[in-house]
Amino acid sequence: MTAAHPFGAPPVDEAAPGRLDAAVTVRRKAFTLDVAVTVEPGEVLAVLGPNGAGKSTLLGALAGLLVPDEGLVRLGGRLLTGGGTFVPPERRRVGLMGQDPLLFPHLTAVENIAFGPRSQGVSRVRARATAHEWLERLTLAEYGNRRPAQLSGGQRQRVALARALAAEPELLLLDEPLGALDAQTVPEVRQVLRTYLRASGTTTILVTHDVLDAAMLADRVLVLADGAVTDSGSTAAILAAPRSEFSAALAGLNLLTGTADATADEGAVVTVSAVGASISGLTAERVGAGDAAAVVFPPSAVAVYPQAVAGSPRNSWPAVVTALEPGPSAIRVRLALGTGGSTVPVTGAVVDSVTGTAVDSVTGPGAGGEAGAAVSADLTPAAVAELDLSPGSRVFLAVKATEVRVYRR
């Protein structure tokens, strides 16, 4: 194995206890994971991304379940992988709870949970007492003497979570820990996990698809796609200002990408040329002409009209409805901006958002036309009915520039 470590492999005795420094490359036939990550002692890092992004592969490399093709894994003052060293999983002090609980079928719930402390030399009596404490916290006290086959899927998942936590690992890896729980149990177990992580100061990596898990449990977020990092930062920053399509979808925001047309200081209006539209918005940081830019705005800021918008909105585009999805307080309308296809005649005055000149037709997706960038709008049921919207409906969108934020990408 070759070692290519961006952290410079600091001396063992200079590393903080619980700090994780890792840079791993794992090659598969049609996939390569190439990720460097640092997690500070006691920090919770949420790893998000679509299926197949490499999240579970990353956890496997950190846990010692697979040997990376290149790289190092260092936990505190200990080198776990790299430079000719490979510490087996059972000696890493790394706890892993995967999507499959993998409980010992011949042991009761208490015995499964007590296994971790026992493997670290804790007495049988103390280990069983710890197991009962965790059963109580996770509302499983009455199931302590049951074996996995006698438990529901959600109960088995909670026992597996208790087993991981009871072992008090130096690094805790959680792969969708709440995924198998029913909707009524998730909030309670999430709160238990939040309380434990904050009280124990355990360095943790949490893989999840649930934005609420990230918001409640994580200090930072790292987004993976196709084996590479596409977005990272504090949880609040990622949810407020996503710079990748996945993190924008997770945060429930629209994100379009393009190129800034001019240089603008923070707080100024700048126009970004994107696929299917030119978009004006307020810069959240200084942006240079020609910079790759991300444009973010909430679905609630998108107004939908049956005809071209008269007046002076900076952002006004033709679009086609692609889907309608019911939500708790609004209907999410999915739309595609036009990049080609048939010409749509304008029935009212429309002003080009860049030149300011009036036009008498716009180009939108049509027969043989290509669908453009995707945008979502949140409308009331009454508005959807009044507009008579359905998949294929041609509409016009308007978004105030003050509702749009522009970031360097």
Instruction: Compare 312 and 92 and report the one with higher pLDDT.
Output: 92
Do residues 340 and 314 make contact, with C-beta atoms less than 8 angstroms apart? no
Do residues 271 and 278 make contact, with C-beta atoms less than 8 angstroms apart? yes
- The contacts of residue 170 (CB under 8 Å, 6+ apart) are 17, 18, 75, 76, 93, 94, 202, 203
Residue 152 structure tokens: 């529901």
Residue-range domain boundaries for the chain = 12-235, 299-408
- CATH for 299-408 is 2.40.50.100
Give the containing element (helix H, strand E) for 75. Answer: strand 70-75
pLDDT band at 47 (very low <50, low <70, confident <90, very high): very high
Give SS3 for 38.
Answer: strand
Give SS3 for 105.
Answer: coil
Give me the DSSP letters along 139-195: T-GGGTT--GGGS-HHHHHHHHHHHHHHT--SEEEEESTTTTS-TTTHHHHHHHHHH
pLDDT 10s digits, 273-327: 886 678 899 988 889 999 988 888 999 999 999 988 776 567 888 999 999 999 8
Q: Does domain 12-235 have CATH number 3.40.50.300?
A: yes
Distance CA(99)–CA(102), nearest Å, equals: 9
Report residue 233: phi and psi, to 5°: 155, -175
What's the pLDDT score for residue 368?
Answer: 29
Considering the chain, what is the average pLDDT of its residues?
A: 83
What's the pLDDT score for residue 37?
Answer: 96
For the entire predicted model, the pTM comes to 0.71
Residue 35: beta bridge partners? 24
Percent of the chain with pLDDT strictly greater than 90: 48
pLDDT 10s digits, 106-132: 999 999 999 989 988 899 999 999 999
